[in-house]
Amino acid sequence: MNELKKIKSALISVFYKDNLDPIVKKLNDAGVQIISTGGTKTFIESLGIDVTSVEEVTSMPSILGGRVKTLHPKIFGGILARRDNNSDLDQLTQYGIPEIDLVIVDLYPFEETVQSGAAEQDIIEKIDIGGISLIRAAAKNFKDTLIVSSVNQYQQLNDLLIKNNCASTLDERKMFAKEAFAVSSHYDGAIFEYFNSDDSSDSKRLSFNNRKSLRYGENPHQKGEFFGDLEKVITQVWGKEVSYNNLLDIDAAIALINDFEETTFAILKHNNACGVASRDTLKQAWIDALAGDPISAFGGVLVCNRVVDADTAQEINKLFFEVIIAPSYDSAALEILQSKKNRIILIHKPSQLATKQYRSLLNGVLVQDRDVVVEKPSDLSVATKLAPADSKIEDLLFANKLVKHSKSNAIVLARGKQLLASGVGQTSRVDALVHSIEKAKNFDFSLKGAVMASDAFFPFADCVEIAHNEGIDTVIQPGGSVKDNDSIEYCDKHKMAMVFTGKRHFKH
């Protein structure tokens, strides 16, 4: 299995030529015949290295504006020929086909072209035909042919050429073949998703690269991994490696803070906000967010939408927490926060979270659009005789943002753009409200003049009655219950204001 097979000939045709030159030089120094075409051939010749053109091998020019270059039996025969099959070898001799032991090829940047907003014709031209065929052919014949299918593998190939003196083992060729099929399947999946942008097909293709092994999953006995490019969303500047549970909280924190434009600080625990405040200064936002639940904040995940300054960092540093996420940090603030070696400090980069959400269950996958609705004053419909005061509208929208990001059933109590308390993940909406009231009282918050937000409608009048008895006078909820009038009549009778949004925000 580990017998070395010498590389005698190589076909090289790539879009990305960065870091290709040391590989080409090593192959040349080892006497490997190099076959190439187009820009790659020109690049190799610029290094002073002799190249056999694909056209010389095939006796055919590149045609159709470069759409057909390598698609020829004299190329694919040399890649697919089984070296232990006498009939295959006889046919190579009969038709003058050279054996090809190494194929270095990458694919046109289809995904990048789509993301650039290019015209459809430009996108279609970036659907690689020759490259994808070469990759599949060489990977299929891994017993005899080594396939390098991405610029990301150049360093690995270079190391292999040095270690084995331009040779490879069967195990190494099979490993490169595995990665080649990962490249080709991801590429085809991306093309399908482009053509299926309207979701009209009954099929779905999900492909994720860049595996990151985690210490474990939700619990130590569960294996955990992350697939994706975290660097596009966050940069870690300090602390221990992020965990599976950290990532769940980080995702929830970023989704929440993205809904706020004002200076806002939030503290999350197990994906739910336990403290949030919007203020004129970040320091005051932190102080008031922490006041919402200083007990749950211990070991939590912190997130804000402004640069963290030294004064704010001094206050934050008084608390033990796992993770902090911010757009940036003053140098003095960073020095303060780095006083704990395991504390995870992240920079949140401007980026868009995935528009689709996936959840595996039973023997399949659930797919839904991400809930990106953020209600505005114009979205509110006054359901009661009494309209909320202008001063309450901001609180209603503030509370509604929080309840949207809380586990159902959820109730949020707020005043002055500060989270007073929430009841989350309850099997009864009444339980969620009772829990939030009890929690607010535990931290000495008066609920007089507070607002209440619910993630779904009230099927009965019990919640508005309980809220009214605690001094809450304004309510925001989706509406839509067949018994909406019960809640409306109670509010009217007790001079409460209630608005409907028409949008439910369940989160399970």
Active-site residues, by number, are 140, 270
Distances (CA, A) of 216 to 219, 224, 239, 270, 359: 6, 5, 17, 17, 19
CA distance 50 to 28: 8
CA distance 38 to 108: 14
CA distance 498 to 500: 7
Instruction: Tally the C-alpha atoms within 13 A of residue 153's C-alpha that lie toward its C-beta.
Output: 23
Q: DSSP characters for 225-267?
A: EEES-GGGTEEEEESSPP-HHHHHHHHHHHHHHTT--SSEEEE
Burial 316-345 (b: 16+ CB within 10 A, else e): bbeeebbbbbbeebeeebbebbbeeeebbb
The amino acid at residue 119 is A
The amino acid at residue 118 is A
Distances (CA, A) of 5 to 156, 166, 249: 17, 9, 49
Bridge partner list, 52: 35
Bridge partner list, 453: 412, 476
CA distance 236 to 38: 41
CA angle 423, 425, 430 (to 5 degrees): 55
Radius of gyration of the chain (CA): 31
Pick from 292, 287, 284: nearest CA to 268:
292
**Nearby residues of 61 by Cβ (< 8 Å), 6 or more positions away:** 55
CA distance 501 to 393: 12
**Token pair listed for 156:** 């690995």
CA angle 48, 163, 169 (to 5 degrees): 105
CA distance 320 to 298: 6
